[in-house]
Every structure is written in C-alpha cells, then in structure tokens.
Amino acid sequence: MYDVIVLGGGPVGLALAAALAQEHLGVALVERGPLQHFAEPVGAEDWDSRVYAISPGSADFLRAIGAWQRLPAERLAAIEMMDVRGDGDGAIAFSAYELGERALAWIVEHRELTSALIESVRTAGRIDVLAPCEPTAVAWRSDAALITLSDGRSMSARLLVGADGVRSWVRREAGMAREPRPYGQTAVVANFTIEHSHRGRAFQWFREGEGVLAWLPLPGRRISIVWSAPDALAGELVALDAAALATRVAAAGERALGELALITPPVGFPLSFLRLPSVVSDRLALVGDAAHGVHPLAGQGVNLGFGDAATLATVLGAGRPTGDVGAALLLERYARKRAWPVLAMQLVTDGLVRLFEPPALKLVRNGGMRAVAAIAPVRRLLAQPALR
C-alpha cells in the first residue's frame, strides 16, 4: 500500500509527487498518457505556444523540489514591469523594483517546465510512475482508497489526490459532481516576434466587447500572447492566416511593440470557472484545476496549483508520524489552509471579468483604475497575493 496515489501527470501532479517524496512518503503517480519528456534539444526559433507565468513564490517551491534549477536560463524571461490598461483611460503599472522583487513573474514554456519536473520525479526516489495508465474504477474503505487500472491491476493508498484537471475523473467518481461554469470565452495563445524590444515589460488590455489581451515577454524580441476572447471572436482569430493574425494582434495592442510576425500557430483553450463546496472528501484531496478554475487574466492558475501542492505536501509530511496521511484531520487542515488564497484569487479574477462586461460601468471601472494607480501602497497590496 502506498501513502499517496497522485492521479494526473501535469505540472501540478508532478510537482506534488516530488514534494511528497521529499517528505519521505511512498508515492505512485498515475497518468493516462505517456509523460511528455521533451529530451531533444530545441532550436532557437522553436517555441512552445503554451507558457506559464511563474510567480516568485512558485519559483521558490519549484527550486525546493529541484525543478527550477533544471530550467535552461536562456528559455526564461522575467516580467519586470506590467502595464494594465482599461477599455477607456484607466491604467495601472506594476513594477518589480517597487515591490522589492527581482521579477513579478517568470515566463516558462510548458515543455521546459514539464521536462524539469519529470527529472525531479525521476531522481526523487520513492515514486512509482505508471504512464500511460488509465484508472477505471475506485473504491473507498475506511482506511484506504483502492484504484483499478485498465490493465486489470489494482493498487491502494491511504490517500488519493486528484490532479487530473478541470474535468477530473476522480472528482466525479467521488460524487463531487459540480461542473465548471463556461465563461463563453476561449483563450487564444500564440507566439510572435516583435519589432521593438519589450525590455521585460508585459502588457494587458481590457478590450470593450473583445475580452482581455495579454502580451508576455519571451527571451529576445519575442512575446507570447493570451487573448481571452468571446468564443465567436476566438474562432475568427484562430482561422486567420499568419499575416492577418499578426496585424490584428498588433492593432489590438496599440502597436506597443511595433509590428509583429507569427512564429507559432494559434491554439484555443475554452475557459471556465470552478468553485467546489470542498476540495477534500474521504481519502481524497483535490489540487490544481481539479480543485478550482480561475480566469487566466491574472496568470495565476498554475500558481494556485503549486500552492496546493506545497501546502498538501507540508501538511501530510507533518502528519506522517501518525501512520495515516489520509486522516480526515489532515485533509481538513489542508482545505482550511487553501480556502482563503483560492477564494481571494477567484473573487478578483471573476470580479474583473464581470466588471469589464457591462458598457454602463465603463466610467466607473476606468476611474477606479486611475484611483488605484495613484496610490502606491494600494498597488503593492494588490500585487502581493499574485507574488506569493
């Protein structure tokens, strides 16, 4: 019997497995598909269109489990400034220097982060990786959870952890049936070369009737964009040819960095909101997108997931001497510790999405942005949750 079975081999599941191994717990990691270990070197112009904005707090956690050190420095870009612009004359700027940080966040490609985390899992010891491997059934006992796999094998653990995404299989099997609420938006992501240097500056525009557009710095004269657009507009954007899309994105971003040229095809990801009554049940804990869904306008989805992983590993490590890391007392402790950070981020992100929808509130929201921008302590207060 394992101490913990982690279902899901994405970045959060991988990070959790490595953190649990550091707490001297016996761990199995089960992933439906093969683990994507991008071992082959990539070319200088070969960029993953899916990127993450890793906060300083998440970077500290990844460093502690040995993953951050494995990331190639030449593939990282620091966000040192963030310009946020409303759909009128409202604007706010955040500065890493003002906040006493080296960076507000680091932009990391999905494949580089995944590869680093897989290496951390591989070298951690105490982790059995089953991938590709599909769970088909789960049963609950008072002292353990039992998983049946598609090849007929079965395995048990004191605790199951669902790190299997927004449409979590294990969440559904446990009867935690609340479904994500669609935003009616799709995040269109793509990478571009730029005419003028970004100088470590990220941009975000709230566009009237067109959602939220973010430009994130990549190394050199490149950016990654996330355009959280209404579904119909997102369909139009993805269908554009390379030159037309570059022109459209440059114009939507006020040509802040000059002309753009597409270097990765656009990809769309449907957006949804998820809030559960509880992220724990008997012998089960949820982390990452299986536990909560947030709008990407603040870039905090993966950071919330890493916060879940760090907190759960610490709580279970402290409870290890009891011999039962699936005890209800430990799970409730984890749920309490994560409740406020997740709720606070959901209130901010969901609230901003709703605030920028009604045309009648245009003067109010842009006036509010100007007021916040004028008060440095308020700006610092707003930035702190995203940093840590």
Q: How many CB atoms lie within 10 A of CB 102?
A: 11
Residues 334 and 301 in one domain: yes
The arithmetic mean of pLDDT across residues 289-314, rounded, is 94
Residues 277 and 267 in one domain: no
- The confidence score (pLDDT) of residue 378 equals 54
Domain assignment present for 48: no
Residue written as token pair 């940080």: 101
| The pLDDT of residue 38 is above 60 | no
Domain that holds residue 227: 69-109+183-271+356-387
Helix, strand, coil percentages in the chain from 3-state DSSP, rounded to 5: 40, 30, 30
Pairwise CA distance, residues 72 & 310, whole Å: 23
Grouping H, G, I as helix, E, B as strand and the rest as coil, residue 384 is helix
The arithmetic mean of pLDDT across residues 289-309, rounded, is 93
Pairwise CA distance, residues 207 & 112, whole Å: 31
Residues 195 and 328 in one domain: no
Nearest 5°: the CA angle 370, 374, 376 is 130
CB 356 within 8 A of CB 364: no
Residues 208 and 317 in one domain: no
Residue from 158, 161, 184 nearest 174 by CA: 161
Q: Above pLDDT 70, what percent of the chain?
A: 91
Residues 204 and 298 in one domain: no
Domain assignment present for 363: yes
CB 81 within 8 A of CB 95: yes
Residues 244 and 305 in one domain: no
- The confidence score (pLDDT) of residue 42 equals 58
Domain count, the chain: 2
| The pLDDT of residue 119 is above 60 | yes
| CATH number, domain with residue 382 | 3.30.9.10
pLDDT tens digits for 19-28?
999 999 999 9
Domain assignment present for 284: yes
Residues 122 and 163 in one domain: yes
Q: pTM for the full model?
A: 0.93
Residues 172 and 318 in one domain: yes
Name the maximum alpha-carbon separation found in the chain.
63
Burial zone of 105 (CB within 10 Å; 0-12 exposed, 13-18 middle, 19+ buried): buried
Domain assignment present for 52: no
CB 269 within 8 A of CB 227: no
pLDDT tens digits for 87-102?
777 788 888 888 888 9
Residues 126 and 162 in one domain: yes
Domain assignment present for 200: yes
| The pLDDT of residue 372 is above 70 | no
What would the two tokens of residue 337 be? 């510790």
- The confidence score (pLDDT) of residue 357 equals 76
Residues 78 and 169 in one domain: no
| The pLDDT of residue 41 is above 60 | no
371 pLDDT band (50/70/90 cuts)?
A: low
The arithmetic mean of pLDDT across residues 288-316, rounded, is 94
Pairwise CA distance, residues 29 & 18, whole Å: 10
Domain assignment present for 361: yes
Domain assignment present for 164: yes
Task: Write the CB contacts of 6 (distance below 8 Å, at least 6 apart in sequence).
Answer: 13, 16, 17, 20, 27, 28, 29, 30, 161, 163
Residue from 224, 210, 287 nearest 10 by CA: 287
| The pLDDT of residue 162 is above 90 | yes
Pairwise CA distance, residues 214 & 352, whole Å: 14
